Amino acid sequence: MRRVRSFVRRQGRLTKRQEDALESEWLKMGIDFVNEPFDFAKVFNNTNPVILEIGFGMGSSLVTMAAQNPDKNFLGIEVHAPGVGACLASAKEENVTNLRVMCHDAIEVLDCMIPDSSLSMVQLFFPDPWHKSKHSKRRIVQVPFAEKIRGKLTIGGVFHMATDWQPYAKHMLQVMTSIDDYKNLSSSSDYVPRPETRPETKFEKRGQRLGHGVWDLMFERINHG
């Protein structure tokens, strides 16, 4: 069976700002892939809860969240080098110290580096919806992926997804509802209003002006039975 990777590798040209940030900040905030589990207490030098964001784009909302929550640790994974550079540059400008970033395939990081029951939240905001039905199998939110995330969350930890593509929102809901040991935090058993913890992106505000919807889903890992 073909393994779903969390990305299609895209290379882009780096701006001077992104290149400089990768050069100057990687030693402080960047983490190279190695085949051994994180010791988050060592990585962050504290035992605060860890929040993982998969595919952070240019990182603006991730940096905002880290700046607003100094009592939490943030780990961001993104394969697009310009996005990683932009995130590092913003983090430096905001004097953020509770953020680490990786430029690698998230599935491999989850499999090899994230210890079980170690994350308080996993965030997946606006992943590629693969609009064409023949490509829908490439969507990252599938049962094996959602089960993998569940194993990495602490009991009471939350998997938070957001999409602006309604068919994908329905697909996410269907996948998540089919899995044991997850509890939907929506009072109407579908979507939740955008929580304060997720900053609105420019892209999202633009979408709202154009009348596009955004769907947030939050599922908590529970002890089954």
Which parts are annotated binding residues? 53, 78, 105, 128, 132, 164, 201-204
- Which residues does the annotation place in the binding site for substrate? 132, 164, 201-204
User: What are 118's two structure tokens?
Assistant: 């170690």
Q: What domains lie within the chain, and their CATH numbers? A: 25-221 (3.40.50.150)
Query: Phi-psi region for residue 144, left (φ > 0), alpha (ψ -120 to 50) or beta?
Result: alpha
Give the C-alpha separation, 50 to 121, whole Å: 7
Which residues belong to the annotated binding site for S-adenosyl-L-methionine?
A: 53, 78, 105, 128
State mean pLDDT over 36-50: 97
Which pair of structure tokens corresponds to residue 124? 């997946």
Give the Cα-Cα-Cα angle 163, 106, 95 (nearest 5 degrees).
80
Say if residues 66 and 91 touch (Cβ distance below 8 Å).
yes
Q: Residue 73: count other Cβ atoms within 10 Å of its Cβ.
A: 25
Q: How far apart are CA 65 and CA 58, in angstroms?
A: 14
Predicted pLDDT at 133? 60
Residue 25 has pLDDT above 90, yes or no: yes
Q: Given the DSSP bridges, would you call strands 182-184 and 215-221 parallel, antiparallel or unpaired?
A: antiparallel
Residue 137 — pLDDT band, cuts 50, 70, 90? low
Q: Which of 132-136, 156-160, 218-222 has the lowest mean pLDDT?
A: 132-136
Separation of alpha carbons 165 and 213, rounded Å = 8
Give the integer Cα–Cα distance in Å for 220 and 225: 15
pLDDT for 130: 53
pTM (predicted TM-score): 0.90
SS3 148: helix
**Mean pLDDT within 57-74:** 96
Report the catalytic residues.
128
CB 110 within 8 A of CB 132: no
- Is the model's pLDDT at 120 over the cut of 70? yes
- How far, in Å, CA of 36 to CA of 138, rounded? 27
Cα separation, 118 vs 149, whole angstroms: 11
